[in-house]
Amino acid sequence: MPMTDNKKETGINGVINVYKEQDFTSHDVVAKMRGILKIKKIGHTGTLDPKAEGVLPICIGNATRICDILTDRSKEYLAVMKLGIRTDTLDVFGQITAMADADKVLSQSEELIRETVKGFQGKIVQIPPMYSAIKVGGKKLYELAREGKEIERKGREVFIDSIEIKRIDLPYVEIYVKCSKGTYIRTLCDDIGERLGVFAAMSSLIRTRVGNFCADDARRIDEIEKLRDEGRLNEIIVPADRIFKEYKSIVRDSVMKGHEEIYEKLLYNGNPISLSLFREEEITSERFRMYDLSGNFKGIYSLDQKKERLTPYKMFL
């Protein structure tokens, strides 16, 4: 009897750290990965602009359930901004809407630039750019922008963990940013230019890290195709449980003797599990990686101290 598509798709579950190249959209990468892996159940973990490049973890099979978790993780970027211009897209690829005097730009002191850039570290409020994928009234902002419309956007609070100047070669300034999810680097460049009084537009962007996934370990699409042809895809597929390696693991030996059967039954049904089933010394965390009696990863549970139980957060049954 021939295998169904669903059965074929159970073969690959995990995350591949893809290096998105310029002029690909994040959706392009997902489409290409579907073609390479012959799997429909694939999702990405945070949009990158077409002109940007860098880390774009791709979730496959049951690991698509952690797309939202990876999207929430902190990110790191290497960006170059060009002082002296402002554009409608907030990068150098848009239409110029304002320019500063070239002499004023070139007269900016390194000390002033460094002090200004450093001032953006910590909690800041950003107004999302019109050219973004945020939806308003069922329509993406960039769709409205292409129609020549501009609407009022609410400011959003983000956090810049650190921002460091790597190089100054006026009118270009290269910065390295560690930030929370939802941070727009284009907006950050524009805001820095505004504060300097000379405008600024982002000229290049590389996402170097998403959570534990870094650019040095990322693979380009052609590399992934080659590994597939060589039968070596397993070398780059990160199992879902390794994404949560900071969480304590609950395994067979964590369960009190005599309670193994009820533990596994509750786990397989995705039910809350009483703390009374575990050895007391095992419950030393807020989140747990849960494994069945055979050592297979089944999900993430959270500690509910009030009700003295572990409750399901993400299941991978």
Considering 5, 49, 161, 292, which one is annotated as catalytic?
49
- Find out whether 47 and 184 touch, Cβ atoms under 8 Å: no
- Find out whether 276 and 266 touch, Cβ atoms under 8 Å: no
User: Can you give the length of the chain in residues?
Assistant: 317
**What angle (nearest 5°) sits at the alpha carbon of residue 64, between those of residues 62 and 70?**
130
DSSP 309: E
Residues facing residue 87 across a β-bridge: 96
Question: Quick one: which of 286, 279, 294 has its CA closest to 310?
Answer: 286
CA distances from 175 to 28, 30, 114, 302 (A): 28, 29, 10, 37
CA distances from 117 to 17, 110, 167, 177 (A): 30, 10, 12, 10
Q: How do 172-179 and 75-83 pair as beta strands?
A: antiparallel
CA distances from 97 to 86, 126, 181, 202 (A): 6, 20, 28, 14
Is position 49 annotated as part of the catalytic site? yes
SS3 286: coil
Crossing angle (nearest 10°) for helices 221-229 and 26-37: 10
Q: What is the dihedral of CA 23, 24, 27, 28, to 10 degrees?
A: 130
* Amino acid symbol at 184: Y
Q: How far apart are the first and last CA of the chain?
A: 25
Residues facing residue 213 across a β-bridge: 210
Query: Active-site residue numbers?
Result: 49
